[in-house]
Structure 1
Amino acid sequence: MTTETNSGSCCGTGSRSSNATIHVQDAGVTAIYQVSGMTCGHCEGAVSQEISALEGVTAVAADAKTGEVTVTSAATLDEETVRAAVDEAGYEFVGRV
């Protein structure tokens, strides 16, 4: 699989910053992460695809406009694992919202 590098997004450069909150729901755990560098639907798809491949992830919604990625999983995900997936997609993981 070909991925973009961390030096910027597929559509140009973006600012890089992060935050995160975790919510526990009946359907699993939902966490919101800040990712920088996403600028379009392709960016959202690349990040979503990499995070969706993580064990236990049941849903991912990325929003390039806000830089937020909402992830629902069976259990709380290790932040370093999420960071690695975002890095693999070619974007910068800032942290939890």
Structure 2
Amino acid sequence: MKYIIHTEGLHCGHCDAAVETELMKVAGVTDADADHEVNVVEVEAANEIDPASLSAAVEVAGFKTVSIEAA
């Protein structure tokens, strides 16, 4: 399953890495790819994940979740 997370506050590659690291800690996440140029994170998961868990991981990394879409 794929999720698209729209964020605020990603400014550089370090920001991308911080978000990716936290998202990879969420059970079921198999890949996370953040792009600070468009403030979007693409997440691959083995199964359905509660969007609140994804949002919480983004916030732990220090950024804001604007929206999450299942793709």
Larger RCO (CA within 8 A; separation ≥ 6):
2
**Would you say 1:60 and 2:32 are equivalent positions?**
yes
TM-score by length of 1: 0.69
Q: State the identity %.
A: 35
The alignment yields a C-alpha RMSD, in angstroms, of: 0.8
Structure 1 residue runs of 4 or more that deviate by more than 4 Å after TM superposition: none
Please state how far the C-alpha of 1:42 moved relative to its aligned partner.
0.2
Aligned residue number for residue 35 of structure 1? 7
User: What SS is found at the alignment partner of 1:38?
Assistant: coil
More strand as a share of residues: 2
Paired positions, count: 69
Question: What are structure 1's unaligned runs of at least 5 residues?
Answer: 1-28
Matched, 1:85 2:60: no
Q: Which runs of 5+ in 2 are unaligned?
A: none
